Structure 1
Amino acid sequence: MRLNDAELQRLDLHQRIQRALRALILDGALAPGLKLPATRSLATSLGVARDTVENAYVQLHRDGFIVRREGSGSYVAETLGNELQGIARQRPRPREARRSETAAAEPGLSRRGRMILDSGGVSDQQVVRAFATGLPETRTFPIDVWLRLQRQAMKDYRATVLLHGDPQGAEPLRKAIATYLNLERGAACTPEQILVLSSTRQALFLCAQLLVDAGKPILLENPGYYGARKAFESAEARVVPIDVDALGIRTDLLRADRSGANCVYVTPSHQYPTGATLPLARRLELVNWAAENGRWIIEDDYDSEFHYDGLPTACVQGLDKYQRTLYVGTFSKTLSPGLRLGYMVLPQPLVRAFTHARSIMDGHTPQILQLTLARFMEDGHYNAHVRAMRKLYAGRRASMFEAIGRHLDGIATAMRPPGGLQMPCLLDEGWSEERTIRLAANAGVQLPGLSRLYAGEERKQGWLLGYSSLNAMEIEAAMLRLAKALRSK
């Protein structure tokens, strides 16, 4: 491994000389069998003490890069000839070194590895920027309460929190999650069914690995969550889109499907990205469809806590008496994405398999975070925070809807969702999604495109605008910048 200049400066002088000579040997500038300068001569040329060069030569000799012959001098080891020729053959020529990252990284990757590389991964927003999606308001996070509870957990559990944890999750947190879901989301689960994870994306990756064989189909909503599609495609599953309408996924198309898929991914409480809420009749039909055919439902309940119009509907998992539903939840939207905490509610027969897979993937989530969150929930802070955020986000949704109407008339039409953290907008005729995204970026505004969430040729042009991390003034200022950028071209 080559060190950069800053790292080299932290080494002792004899180490820097040794590294420099080693690099020249590896690069072929000092050929095998070449006699090196005497230590006194090289020391004089470099302006250093002879002992410094001697120490460098000693280390090179120990590592096998040079040989030292008494009365004759020091030479580059001739035994390196074949090995260095092999390195030279593999090293890219200057023109090849300027190839694209994808082309340069392909050698040695598996078929799946190349597919993941070509997919480009999934980018998360690391700073607050209008109008990035999925970012909660973190400025009001009760950090003082959190730190106090974390200190309590450290004091009570002491060194045990520094050891490996249960791959399924800390029992206190699993109990707190089960209690919350049963009371607030109408779920029907026990702590033994809970698997604590780092994120929704990890949950979906586990589903892709354990439920769908390579080359086999899986059903996804169309349009739908981009991260879910990426997770299943990375496992070499064949994604089959099922269209949604104003009420959510079309269960009639599910029943008509003949792909042979044994799994469907849905967002019934707040369809991503349209915002539709799947009515009770369709939820029951979804459950019956899975039970009759021995299939699995992956229910992503990513932001159901934030429902503003009327009462939220019960989750599908609580309606499923046949145990065919895998419920996915996250604390990234309700608390903070930086905590990296999510969970699944699994049918009992799947718990061991998913726990084993999780143990292979990354072992467990940090115990101190789990134990702190458990107390945060047990003491009522979590529910209080969610209620406060629900009120805050409802106001921001109204600010966003009004700002779009004021400033983007004739450009885009907002679709007011019943809940969630983002608002879909459809572009009016004559406007190009690609062009508006480019113009907005020049003005410092991020417009997440809507068309990429569609599968197939029919793709609606528009944006999915996040508003939860911006206050009313920030929404207004960003909307003014956006309107100016779009209308000036």
Structure 2
Amino acid sequence: MAIAFELETLKIRLNDAEFARLDLHQRIQRALRALILDGALAPGVKLPATRTLATRLGVARDTVENAYVQLQRDGYILRRKGSGSYVSEALGNELRGASRRRSKPRGHRPEPPAAGQGLSLRGRMIFDSGGVADQTTIKAFATGLPETRSFPTAVWERLQRQAMKDYRGHVLLHGDPQGAEPLRKAIAVYLNLERGARVAPEQVLVLSSTRQALFLCAQLLVDAGKPILLENPGYFGARKAFEAAEARVVPIDVDAQGIRTDLLRADRSGAACVYVTPSHQYPTGATLSLERRLELINWSAQQRKWIIEDDYDSEFHYDGLPTACVQGLDQQQRTLYIGTFSKTLFPGLRMGYMVLPPELVKPFSHARSIVDGHTPQILQLTLARFMEDGHYNAHVRAMRKLYGQRRSYLLDAIARHLPGIVTALRPPGGLQIPCLLEPGWSEAHSIDLAARAGVQLPGLSRLYQGEHKRQGWLLGYASLTEREIEAAMLRLSAALTTG
């Protein structure tokens, strides 16, 4: 059976943008294949001879021949000596419905399925959550961005070249899922000296980020439908990680001294672990008092619960000396310690780590091997040298001084430009300042007005669970110069007072 060959439709297909970078014979082959799959060329239809089609398209005969050969290899057409080329009859059942679409207007494309269709229940829940958006540009007052424009890139590049030269082909192979030994040793030395931890290199697991650490905790420590205790308000990414694992998040309120340990002791949910940010509670900035740290550790030991300690930016403490981490005080080794280099160095590095109780090292390493294998070895070895040679500590000291100055400047700018609008809290450290809106001001409306002026105001209320939500903002400042802070504050003030 043969029908009139749809030359114009073929020409339309040949001009599709998706074929633009292909060789001509590939474009013809893909265009014919698309017509077959769409049903425009039904099973059994005879195709023009290669010479005829080449003449009508204005191309060489060999070009069409190569296209037909590939279509035959892929099973779309049959070629019979002395008879011609035909669309394969074997495709009949599969394409029968598609062939009926030939009556639709030329060039018609079916509507793509709606986003999220065909997902599992867990997949649908993750999709509906909206994910977690990272800030990809420097903008006032986005949170989580350190100063990157003054990073010692020349030093980093030199150390990376040295590592590549010394390790040669080794860095091109797969690495240990637990992490390169030189980096694990450097991390252990740093934490023991600077954070008061008690860490052996064998306890360190090198990861891509804090988020990956939380994902592993959610997968390995909490069963679907079971509870996990989280600070309220608390880190949005932690809540997302546990919700994605179908855990039931149970909020535990915080106050000026951090998480309320009296509420921990009163909890009867049966949760196996608690997530805390004791050095700088996110987002309030409160530091967990020593008394409560010890209460937390005793509660964990008595109840056989795990403590997930997220020490995301403890290096940046400006008022007095930072307190030692919970992990270093926990003699029962019930604490999983999470750290990151995204805040101390640069977020594009995509590297963090965990310090694990001995019995959890292998399970977490095995799980990590399933997720993404390992962190790039060349980056690990470069960072190890960066730490061993003293550059890491020097950079942290410089940034601590710089961020302290920027925090003071932002606090002063808020007092000068936004009186009667917000009250800024003065956290002892960190990279952002929580601000509480005065009565009569709407968080959503203020964020909208600021966005029109090119200023990003991360809202505070979304970090709360339950009915009681504080209205305000969480202003990041670490990546902004004093001039940028001042300019943004002027725009923000004008937008709010005139809006």
- Range class of TM-score, shorter chain: over 0.9
Match of 2:245 in 1: 235
Deviation per CA, 1:358-389: give whole Å up to 9, x if none: 11111111111111111111111111110000
Which sits farther off after the overlay, 36-45 or 436-445? 36-45
Match of 1:64 in 2: 75
Match of 2:464 in 1: 454
1:39 aligns with 2:50: yes
- Specify the SS of the correspondent of 2:308: strand
Alignment of 1:35-114 (within 5 A): 35-85=46-96, 97=111, 100-101=114-115, 105-107=116-118, 109-114=119-124
For 1:374 and 1:52, the matched residues in 2 are separated by 55
TM-score (norm 1): 0.95
Deviation per CA, 1:227-255: give whole Å up to 9, x if none: 00000001110000000011110000000
- Specify the SS of the correspondent of 2:47: coil
RMSD, aligned CA: 1.9
- Specify the SS of the correspondent of 2:46: coil
Over 3 Å counting, the alpha-carbon distance change for 1:3 and 1:111 in structure 2 is farther
Match of 2:214 in 1: 204
For 1:381 and 1:440, the matched residues in 2 are separated by 38
1:353 aligns with 2:363: yes
1:173 is aligned, of 183, 205, 209, to 183
For 2:332 and 2:138, the matched residues in 1 are separated by 42
Deviation per CA, 1:3-55: give whole Å up to 9, x if none: 99555233221211111111001011111111222222222211112222222
For 2:45 and 2:394, the matched residues in 1 are separated by 75
Match of 1:312 in 2: 322
Match of 1:254 in 2: 264
CA positional deviation for 1:71 = 2.9
For 2:181 and 2:100, the matched residues in 1 are separated by 55
Which sits farther off after the overlay, 286-295 or 27-36? 27-36
Over 3 Å counting, the alpha-carbon distance change for 1:402 and 1:89 in structure 2 is farther
Match of 2:382 in 1: 372
Deviation per CA, 1:250-277: give whole Å up to 9, x if none: 0000000000001000000000000000
Structure 2 gaps of 5+ residues are 1-12
Q: How many residues align?
A: 482
Match of 2:338 in 1: 328
Over 3 Å counting, the alpha-carbon distance change for 1:400 and 1:4 in structure 2 is farther
For 1:429 and 1:95, the matched residues in 2 are separated by 53
1:162 aligns with 2:172: yes
- Specify the SS of the correspondent of 2:338: strand
Which sits farther off after the overlay, 3-12 or 383-392? 3-12
For 1:277 and 1:183, the matched residues in 2 are separated by 20
For 1:223 and 1:428, the matched residues in 2 are separated by 19
Which sits farther off after the overlay, 126-135 or 404-413? 404-413
Over 3 Å counting, the alpha-carbon distance change for 1:447 and 1:99 in structure 2 is farther
Match of 1:300 in 2: 310
Over 3 Å counting, the alpha-carbon distance change for 1:264 and 1:86 in structure 2 is farther
CA positional deviation for 1:411 = 1.6
Determine what percentage of the aligned residue pairs are the same residue.
79
For 1:282 and 1:86, the matched residues in 2 are separated by 68
For 2:89 and 2:151, the matched residues in 1 are separated by 64
CA positional deviation for 1:407 = 1.1
Match of 1:443 in 2: 453
For 2:176 and 2:152, the matched residues in 1 are separated by 27
For 2:262 and 2:429, the matched residues in 1 are separated by 25
For 2:456 and 2:113, the matched residues in 1 are separated by 29
For 1:395 and 1:209, the matched residues in 2 are separated by 40
Deviation per CA, 1:315-344: give whole Å up to 9, x if none: 000000001000000010000111111101
1:399 aligns with 2:409: yes
For 2:15 and 2:444, the matched residues in 1 are separated by 39
CA positional deviation for 1:81 = 1.2
1:244 aligns with 2:258: no
- Specify the SS of the correspondent of 2:186: helix
1:141 is aligned, of 151, 163, 188, to 151
AA aligned to 1:244 is V
For 2:31 and 2:457, the matched residues in 1 are separated by 48
For 2:97 and 2:231, the matched residues in 1 are separated by 51
Over 3 Å counting, the alpha-carbon distance change for 1:48 and 1:80 in structure 2 is same
Moved over 6 A (4+): 86-90, 93-96
Over 3 Å counting, the alpha-carbon distance change for 1:86 and 1:319 in structure 2 is farther
Which sits farther off after the overlay, 377-386 or 2-11? 2-11
Deviation per CA, 1:438-457: give whole Å up to 9, x if none: 11111111111111100111
For 1:263 and 1:288, the matched residues in 2 are separated by 13
Structure 1 gaps of 5+ residues are none
Over 3 Å counting, the alpha-carbon distance change for 1:88 and 1:190 in structure 2 is farther
Q: Is residue 40–residue 99 contact of structure 2 (8 Å, CA) maintained in 1? A: no
Match of 1:182 in 2: 192
- Specify the SS of the correspondent of 1:97: coil
Over 3 Å counting, the alpha-carbon distance change for 1:158 and 1:460 in structure 2 is same
2:373 is aligned, of 359, 363, 379, to 363
1:343 aligns with 2:342: no
For 1:73 and 1:209, the matched residues in 2 are separated by 59
CA positional deviation for 1:217 = 0.1
For 2:16 and 2:494, the matched residues in 1 are separated by 45
Q: Is residue 42–residue 99 contact of structure 2 (8 Å, CA) maintained in 1? A: no
